[in-house]
Each structure stands twice: as C-alpha cells, then as structure tokens.
Chain A
Amino acid sequence: MRVLIVEDEPLIAQRLERFCRAELGGDLEQLRVVASLDAASGFLGEHPIDLLLLDLNLEGRDGMQLLETSVAGSFHTIIVSANTEHALRAFEYGVLDFVPKPFMQERLASALRRATRALVRAEHAARFLAVRKSGRVELVPVEDVIFVQGAGNYSELVRRDGRRELHDKTLERLEAVLPGDFERTHKSFVVRLSEIVSLHAYEGGRHEAVLRDGTTLPVGRSRYKGLKERLL
C-alpha cells in the first residue's frame, strides 16, 4: 500500500505517520509526507498512490475544488481535519472517511481498515462522483448513475441517459463510496438494485439481469443466489 500524507504541522504529520506504520505494518510499501497541496500534486504527478490522508481546510471555494480534484483520483481519500462541520459534505463528494482532529490511534486505524479491506463501505455514501475531463473535474450525481462497469484500472459510470463517464478509480474503490443500493453483480459490474426489473437463469449456468431501460447485464454465477434473495 502506498500512502501520501498532506499535513503542514510536523508534529501532527509525525503522529499520522507513526499510526500508519503501526496499523499497516508490512503492507505499507511507501509512505510520503508533504506539507502543502502544491507539493502533493507535484508528487502525485509522478507517483501513483493508493491512499491519501489529507488535512484540508474546507472553507471557501478553494477547499471544495481541491477536494473534488482529490476524489477524482484513482486513490482513496481520507480527510484528517479539525473542520468537522464539513465532514458530511466531504462524504457527499466521495471521501472514504473523515477523521476529526484530535485523533487517537484507534480512530485512524479504523479509517485505514476501510481502505485496505474489500467490501467495507464508507460511513456516508457519496452523492457525487468527481470525473476528470480534459483537465477539469466534473461532478456526476450518483442518483443519475444506473450501473458501473469495471474496465481494468478504470471504471465506466453509465448514466440514465445512456452517457458513459470514465472514472479513475477501480470498480472496488468506487463500490466502497457508492450507496448501499448498489450491488456487485459481476466481477465487472456494480448495479443499482432498484434498476433491475428481472433476473434470468439460462442453461449452461448463464445468468442475466434486465434493467429498467432494457439493458441486459451478465450476473456472476456465485452472486446470482444472493442477488435473487435481495431482490425478492
């Protein structure tokens, strides 16, 4: 796991670093601390990471823009900040967790666990998904998305009007911040359950889900039973 810490107070940065090392142990491949966002973006351009621990002053427009840019990335973002009044807003933009300052080791550890373990969802689901488009970031409302298709290191968000948006996060990472209504139906699909109108089982173990707009998606054999139970 590759972690970047953005924190301008050295002592707090030391604390974050200490806890990360203690929690991640051998899983930690790389850990870098920078003091400013400018330094962070410079680093990110060169080095892919998995997790960003960000001390972000979310006051004002600048703070929100930085947040959008951050959550549009392929990595998970955990905010570590004293500005707790903006926590919900941060969640809406798709951060994985929000650790209020001051923090103890256990609180940071639980945040790190969300990032490392599959199928642990964010405490509050995102309402927007930030999509990078030719240098700028556009926010796609989650309620406009009917399913997400994995495409290697990227994902494709499929909107109600059929448009597809490319997202930098993997399907697994997106699933973690999407609302509970979204379910993994296939190794390459996360689908909004309320969009499914029927399930079909064919000979040869082929399973399909038909969505409200007529789209047919394959359903993984192992997931079919659970999906059927949830839908009934």
Chain B
Amino acid sequence: MKSWLLSALISVFASVVAPTGAAASANVDGTADHPPCELPPAGRSEFVIDRPLFVSESPILRFRSGDDPTWADPAYDDSDWEVRRHVDGLPARSGIFWVRFTYTQPRYVRDGLSVAVVASYELYIDGRLVGRSGRVGADREAEIAGPVDNLFQIPDDLATPGERVVALRMSAWRTGFPTDVFRLNMASSDFRSLVERRMRQATSSVLAVGGAGVICVVFALWWFVVERQRVLWMCSALGLAAAVVQLLQAWRWLWVYPYDWHYPRLVAIAVTVSLLGVLLVAALLELFALNRRWGALVGVIGAVAAVWIRSAGWYHQISYWALVSALITAALIALRAWSSKRRGAVIVLVGLAGGVFGVIQGPWTFLERNFYLTFGAPMGGIAVAAALRLRDERRAARQARLTAARLEIELLKKQIQPHFVLNALTTIMEVIEQSPSEAVQLIDALAREFRMLARVSSERLIPLEQEVELCLAHLEVMSRRRAARCSLLVEGETARLLVPPALLLTLVENGLTHAPAGGEERVFRLRVEKEVGRTRLIFHSPGTSENKMDPAGGGTGLRYVKARLEESFAGRWSVESNEVEDGWRTIVEIRGQRPERGQ
C-alpha cells in the first residue's frame, strides 16, 4: 500500500480514536472539558501540551513548589526540578509553584499563545513577563482568581525563530474541584487565528442556544395555547435543558469568568445533561404510552445516579455516561414502541441512532459541535413523532365530534323520521273522522313528545327522570295509536342518574316494534340498581318468544344505545340483552361514578 494512503488512513483512524483516548486520561482532573479543537490547525502546531497522541511533541514540564523570581530566567538551570508529564497534573490549594518548559519558535508567524488552566499565573517567555491571569498568591486571601481562558500576544522580538523558555508562576487556591490536581492546556498559533477559533467555539453554542430555545418556546406555546398534553411540555423542557447546557457552554467563551467559577459551571452542565437524559426517556415513555413506564424511568434515574457515584468529580465523564445511558434506554424504549407498532417509533429510532453516533464519534465534542447530532437528532425524531400522534388524536377527536353529531341526528331521525310522522298523521286522519275529541288528545300527546325530544336531543346526557318522562310521553302516543294500554313502571332510585338521551326510549321502541300486535295491556319495567362504583339499569319488555327482538349486538336500536354509551362512558359500560320467560330483558351497566367530560 502506498505510504501516503497508509498515513492518511492512520490519521483518519487517529482522529476518530484520539478523543476516546483523551476521555480516558483527561478526566483525571476537572479541566478536562477542554477539547482538542483548541489546538492550532494541523501543520501549524509544534508545541502542544495535553494531547496524548502527540506526546513526543509535547514539551517536558519541569515543576517546583516555592517562589523565586530568578526561576523566570531562561538561563536558570532547572535540571534538578521534578519532571511532570501533562497527565500528571499540577497541585491545587498548596501555595505558589513554578512550571518551566522549552519550545522551538518556528520560522513563520506564531505570535499567539492560548492558555487554559484553573489557576492564577504569570507567564514569562525568556524571562520577560508576557502576561498574567489574576494575581498569584501565597495564600488564599492574597490570590485573585484570573480567567480560565486567556489569549496572549507574544511580543515581536520573542516571536522570532529559535528556542524559547516558558516559565509560569502559579497558584490555585480557589479551585473548587474535589481532586487536588488540575491540568495545563496550552496551544500556540498566530494570534488572529486563535481569536477566530475562540469565536467559532462560541458560535456553535450560541446557535444551539437559539435552536433549543425555539424548540422550548414553540412546544410551550403549543402546550399552553393548543393542546394540554404532557408530551408537549416535556418537549419544551427538553428544549429548555438543551438551551441551558449550551448557554453554560457559551458562557465560557462569551463572558470570561474567574477560574473559581469553572467548577460550578461544570457541575451545572453535568446536572443539566443528566436531567436532559432523564427527561428524554420520560418524554419517550409519555409519547409512546407504554406499560411499566415507572420501571423504565426508575431504571434510567438509577443509571444516571450510578454514573454520578462512579465518576464523582469527573464532570465531563458524568455528562458523557449520563447521556449514553439515557440514549440507550431511550433506544430500548423506542424499539419496544416499534414492536408494539407505535406511531413514529421508527423516526424516533433513527433520531436516537443519530444521537448515539454523535456521542460515540465525539466524546469531547458531543456537547459542542456534535451537539447538533447528540441532541438535535433525537429531539427532531421526538418532535415528528409527537406531531404525528397529535395529528392522529385530532383526527380521532374530529371523528368523535362527528359521531356525536351523527348520534344527535339519529335520535331526531328516530322520532321525527317521515315514517313515524306519516304513520301518526294517518292515524290522526282516521281518528278525526271517527272521533274528533280523541284526535285532539292524540295530537296533544304527540306534541308533548316532540317538545321533550327537542329539549334533550342536543344533550349528551340527561337526568334519568327526564328520560322516563320522554318514554311516558311516547307510550301515551303509542297507546292511542295502537289502541292498547302501554305503560312503564320504574323501581329504584332514579335521582342524580345521568343517561344518554333516548337510551330508554330506544329500548321501549324496540319492545313495541317486536311485541305482538293486539289489544292486551303492555307493561314495560325498569329497575335501577345502584352499587358502589356501578349502576345497573334492568329493563324488561313484555312479549312472547314468537316475537323476538334483535339479539344483543344487532339492530339499529341497540347500535344507537351502544354508540351513545361509548360516547359518554368510554369503556366503562356494558349492555346485555337476552330473552327471558315473559319477554326480553336488557341490562345496561355503567361503571365508575362520573361520566366522561364533554368534548
């Protein structure tokens, strides 16, 4: 294989593996959220601290506790100083100490030095004070914390090619990290490109804040204005958490803070990322409405807690593993949702795959430029799935409204349908010719029934007493038309019982239609049985077995009854209809105390 190809492959491999290696070693201290993208562009970098793959290029650090101004002198012999590799870190909360190293200034312009360290320090190059960060102090009170990130411009005469000796006089009294060592990150390049890089670093976070903020606001508005659904505010909270994480990220680049703020900021990021992970799982559980939701939620909270305990103090690692465990849990949930054929499960899976890839590909950048993948992809998947679910629900709701409208029309049609009216009119014609005074009574009874019907037809539920009244009015009309006495006897407590309109009327009608014609008296009976949590309406219609009513489940009348019960007591009702010795018995059972709320 050609050597250039080989080296290209190696460099690609290295670029993928490098951050992983860094993750393993860098978390020994707390400043480790500092990614390799801090480094100068390839080809320019010649002295780099804190990049394990290029250890050979990293200068050897000489370390000594104590304080002596002569230690800044390049000619000073530091050969007896302790050698520290960058991974060893530097002591915290233990007074003033010095670090020295040598590097070669190349021929081309490299007049910038970026230093990131959780300490106050003075920077000397070849014995000259080039810059300082805060004030180095022999004790906590004397020290003033400087910013974590500093860019220094190297004076022109020191930027000429040649060997340079760098000396740092440092103290780190105020570091909040629980560990007692921290690391030094330095990179040199030309000053302008260092400024640019720092700006770019901020830009990605600032854009992410904007994007996540929009998600937060849009979903919050949706929840507040359009639809009070839990999954909507959960999506909004996810957006908020992401915006907070990115705001905390951007804080480092946009508002320079003293280094003692670095630790609380990292804790805040780890906490927010952990919350984000738990919220992601909770949102998915809510979205897919799966069983045993609490189990999965407790599982992910447990996993995140374990991460916090295991990686205590290593904040980048906490964020990393918290997010990884949340994404894996989320993917398992999405897989289960997929196997249960939940709407949008596939798109959520795709989003989560993007998120997992983002984390694995960029263990150092998953909260920075890879954040668009690690958070954006799963969030996008969830948003689409949530939108799909809401669309389905709205369709169902519209369907339910149409059903309600249809039921109302059906009720009216039952009584005001041409068949009923025209037959009644025919009877009236005949009664007028036979006995005008009876005709007036029939018309009056008919009018009473229609008036009552008009009153209840647009209601979803009416008091049982009103329903009984309606039946009595109907029975009076039918008695006159059929020339047979029809009556309804009610037993039991009817007060405060709500039923769909024409529930009983439908049963009475069925009974009349299927009862034998003839002059004998017909008595319908209704018994109301109330128990705790359930109400039973037992309706008996007289007849003989030769005149069978539609069996349970069949017939338009029973269909109407069932549709109406489902509309008002979704899933909490049953209708049983069967033949008994002296007629037909229908039992309507309603469970639960309260009817469903209206649409």
| Cβ-defined contact, A10 with B482, below 8 A | yes
Query: Is the C-beta of B483 less than 8 angstroms from some C-beta in chain A?
Result: yes
| Cβ-defined contact, B429 with A15, below 8 A | yes
Task: State A36–B517 Cα separation when bound (angstroms).
Answer: 7
| Cβ-defined contact, B422 with A11, below 8 A | no
From residue 167 to 199 of chain A, which have CB atoms closer than 8 A to chain B?
Answer: none
Task: State A8–B518 Cα separation when bound (angstroms).
Answer: 9
Q: Which residues of B contact A14 (CB under 8 A)?
A: 430, 434
Interface 1/0 per residue, A2-16 and B, CB below 8 Å: 000000111110110
From residue 425 to 468 of chain B, which have CB atoms closer than 8 A to chain A?
Answer: 425-431, 433-434
Interface 1/0 per residue, B401-427 and A, CB below 8 Å: 000000000000000001111110111
Most buried by A among B433, B516, B517: B517
Q: Which residue of B lies closest to A8 (CB)?
A: B517
- CB-CB under 8 A for A38 and B430, given A57-B419, A82-B418, A82-B419: no
| Cβ-defined contact, B422 with A102, below 8 A | yes
Task: State A59–B420 Cα separation when bound (angstroms).
Answer: 14
Query: Is the C-beta of B546 less than 8 angstroms from some C-beta in chain A?
Result: yes
Q: Which residues of A contact B342 (CB under 8 A)?
A: none
| Cβ-defined contact, A103 with B419, below 8 A | no
| Cβ-defined contact, B426 with A36, below 8 A | no
| Cβ-defined contact, A82 with B517, below 8 A | no
| Cβ-defined contact, B422 with A10, below 8 A | no
Q: Which residues of A contact B418 (CB under 8 A)?
A: 82-84
Contact partner of B423 (CB less than 8 A), chosen from A9, A38, A84, is A9
Task: State A11–B546 Cα separation when bound (angstroms).
Answer: 24
Task: State A103–B428 Cα separation when bound (angstroms).
Answer: 11
Query: Is the C-beta of B481 less than 8 angstroms from some C-beta in chain A?
Result: yes
Task: State A83–B417 Cα separation when bound (angstroms).
Answer: 10
From residue 1 to 33 of chain A, which have CB atoms closer than 8 A to chain B?
Answer: 8-12, 14-15
Q: Is the interface of B mostly helix, strand, loop or mixed?
A: helix
Contact partner of B427 (CB less than 8 A), chosen from A9, A38, A84, A100, is A9
Contact partner of A102 (CB less than 8 A), chosen from B429, B483, B518, B546, is B429
Using C-beta atoms within 8 Å of the partner chain, give the interface range for chain A.
10 to 19
Q: Which residues of B contact A101 (CB under 8 A)?
A: 422-423, 425-426
Query: Is the C-beta of A66 less than 8 angstroms from some C-beta in chain B?
Result: no
Contact partner of B419 (CB less than 8 A), chosen from A12, A35, A83, is A83
Least distance between B437 CB and chain A CB atoms (Å): 15
| Cβ-defined contact, A11 with B483, below 8 A | yes
| Cβ-defined contact, B430 with A12, below 8 A | yes
Least distance between B549 CB and chain A CB atoms (Å): 14
Q: Which residue of B lies closest to A82 (CB)?
A: B422
Q: Which residues of A contact B420 (CB under 8 A)?
A: 82
Interface 1/0 per residue, A81-109 and B, CB below 8 Å: 01110000000000000001111100000
Q: Which residues of A contact B429 (CB under 8 A)?
A: 15, 102, 104
| Cβ-defined contact, B482 with A9, below 8 A | yes
Q: Which residues of B contact A15 (CB under 8 A)?
A: 426, 429-430, 433
Q: Which residue of B lies closest to A57 (CB)?
A: B419
From residue 133 to 185 of chain A, which have CB atoms closer than 8 A to chain B?
Answer: none
| Cβ-defined contact, A35 with B423, below 8 A | no
Q: Which residues of A contact B419 (CB under 8 A)?
A: 57, 82-83
Contact partner of A12 (CB less than 8 A), chosen from B423, B516, B518, B546, is B423
Q: Which residue of A lies closest to B438 (CB)?
A: A11
Task: State A102–B518 Cα separation when bound (angstroms).
Answer: 22
Q: Which residues of A contact B430 (CB under 8 A)?
A: 11-12, 14-15
Least distance between B512 CB and chain A CB atoms (Å): 10
Q: Which residues of A contact B434 (CB under 8 A)?
A: 11, 14
Interface 1/0 per residue, B495-523 and A, CB below 8 Å: 00000000000000000000011100000
Task: State A36–B516 Cα separation when bound (angstroms).
Answer: 8
Q: Which residues of A contact B481 (CB under 8 A)?
A: 9, 11
Q: Which residues of A contact B426 (CB under 8 A)?
A: 9, 11-12, 15, 82, 101-103
| Cβ-defined contact, A11 with B425, below 8 A | no
Task: State A57–B419 Cα separation when bound (angstroms).
Answer: 9
Task: State A14–B426 Cα separation when bound (angstroms).
Answer: 11
| Cβ-defined contact, A12 with B427, below 8 A | yes
Contact partner of A35 (CB less than 8 A), chosen from B422, B427, B433, B518, is B518
Least distance between A51 CB and chain B CB atoms (Å): 20
A–B complex contacts, Cβ < 8 Å, 29 sampled: A8-B482, A8-B517, A9-B427, A9-B482, A10-B483, A10-B517, A11-B426, A11-B427, A11-B431, A12-B423, A12-B426, A12-B427, A14-B430, A15-B426, A15-B430, A35-B516, A35-B518, A38-B546, A57-B419, A82-B419, A82-B420, A83-B418, A84-B418, A100-B422, A101-B422, A101-B423, A101-B426, A102-B429, A104-B429
Given contacts A9-B427, A82-B421, A101-B422, 8 further A-B contacts (CB under 8 A): A9-B423, A9-B482, A10-B483, A11-B434, A36-B516, A57-B419, A82-B426, A102-B426
Residues of B within 8 A of A (CB): 418-423, 425-431, 433-434, 481-483, 516-518, 546
Residues of A within 8 A of B (CB): 8-12, 14-15, 35-36, 38, 57, 82-84, 100-104
Considering the complex of A and B, which 3 residue pairs feature the smallest CB-CB distances, nearest first?
A: A35-B517, A82-B422, A102-B426
